[in-house]
Amino acid sequence: MTKLRKVRHTFSKTPARVPLVWMRHRGFRPSDVFVGSYPRSGSTWLRFMLLEILAGQASGFANTNEMLPDVGKHEAGAPVLPGSGRLIKTHESFRAEYKKAIYLVRDPRDVALSEFAYQTALGLTKDEFDPYVERFLRGGVNPFGSWIDHATSWMDAADARRAEILHVNFEELKQKPHDQLGRIVDFLNMPEVKVRIPAAIENNSLARMKEKEKANPQRASAKGRFIRSGSAGGWRSTFTDRQAQLVQQYAGSLMARLGYSAVESLEGQFA
């Protein structure tokens, strides 16, 4: 299985993937809404909470992935939104098919750490972290391109109003989950389900998420964890000065655009 996973991972980063992506982006409804993010940005946690808020049922890996599915598996997605709309997850860069979407973004330094740990656990990279960071910034660690190009595509689409896009920062979602989930519910035109927000937050704490993974192990569970620390700012105790400077060199202006400071502490970062 490990060898097959490596072959698939390598194939997914080639041009041969293009027609597969096109095939996956068919059969949408005007009422569908997408949850877009770069991998390891917190979309699993967000979807777990949204399932409980929108559908009123306890969330786990199986029912969340079934009811709020990945793009390409959306035909069987649950009609949890007004007009029988589905909430569909995507890690792709912005596409014209995404008429309405929530874009969840996380500090790229924490994303790089989490993606590195995840891919190492699955045997998809043998890099040391130093060269991995540069590949993460240039593109090449996964099928979705560089974090920079990915975030830029979504933010440019939002600024140009090519779609209706709600930008949510992972760190703000952690700091003020009730407020951010309230924004999302309003964006989805479902204010009546706000009463479910407190329970959804409590039921999907980090400890509860780890319990759910233990009950239903994921691909990385054998050698690591799919649900890791979910930290905000964990990069500060891991990154070398060179790595931090490299991120600033490549992504500093985009990070500022998204509300991330290169040097200041997290407190007050999203004032």
pLDDT in tens, 216-229: 765 554 444 545 55
Q: Is the pLDDT of residue 178 over 50?
A: yes
Distance, in Å, from the CA atom of 68 to the CA atom of 240, rounded to the nearest integer, reads 38
Dump pLDDT digits (tens) for 197-216: 999 999 999 888 888 878 77
Mean pLDDT of 69-86: 98
Contact 78, 63 (CB under 8 A): no
φ and ψ at residue 217, rounded to 5 degrees: -55, 145
131: Cβ–Cβ under 8 A, 6 or more apart, which residues?
A: none
pLDDT of res. 12: 59
Query: Which residues, listed in sequence order, are joined to residue 33 by a DSSP beta bridge?
Result: 87
With a pLDDT cut of 90, the percent of the chain lying above it is 72
3-state class (DSSP) for residue 81: strand
- Crossing angle for the helix pair 147-159 and 108-121, to the nearest 10 degrees: 130
d(CA 263, CA 236): 10
> Is pLDDT at 165 greater than 90 in this prediction?
yes
Say yes or no to pLDDT of 231 above 60. Answer: yes
Whether 111 and 247 have beta carbons less than 8 Å apart is answered as no
Q: Which two tokens stand for residue 28?
A: 């949408």
Distances in whole angstroms, Cα of residue 245 to Cα of each of 32, 40, 150, 248 = 40, 22, 20, 5
Instruction: Specify whether the CB–CB gap between 151 and 254 falls below 8 A.
Output: yes
Cβ(142)–Cβ(39) under 8 Å? Answer: yes
Q: Report the predicted TM-score, pTM, of the whole model to 2 decimal places.
A: 0.87
- Burial degree of 240 (CB within 10 A; 0-12, 13-18, 19+): exposed
CA 101 to each of CA 119, 120, 134, 166: distance values in angstroms, whole numbers, following the listed order: 27, 31, 29, 6
Report which DSSP code applies to 262: S
Q: Do the beta carbons of residue 146 and residue 137 sit within 8 Å? A: yes
Query: 233 or 108, which is more confident?
Result: 108
Q: Residue 99 pLDDT > 60, yes or no?
A: yes
Q: Where are the beta strands (DSSP E) in the chain?
A: 33-37, 87-90, 100-105, 164-169
Helix (H, G, I), strand (E, B) or coil at 100: strand
Q: Which CATH number fits domain 2-15+33-258: 2.60.40.790, 3.30.70.890, 3.40.50.300, 3.60.60.10?
A: 3.40.50.300
What is the token pair recorded at 9? 């991972």
Mean predicted confidence (pLDDT) in 13-23: 84
User: Bridge partners of 165?
Assistant: 101
The answer on pLDDT for 13 being more than 70 is no
pLDDT surpasses 80 at 87: yes
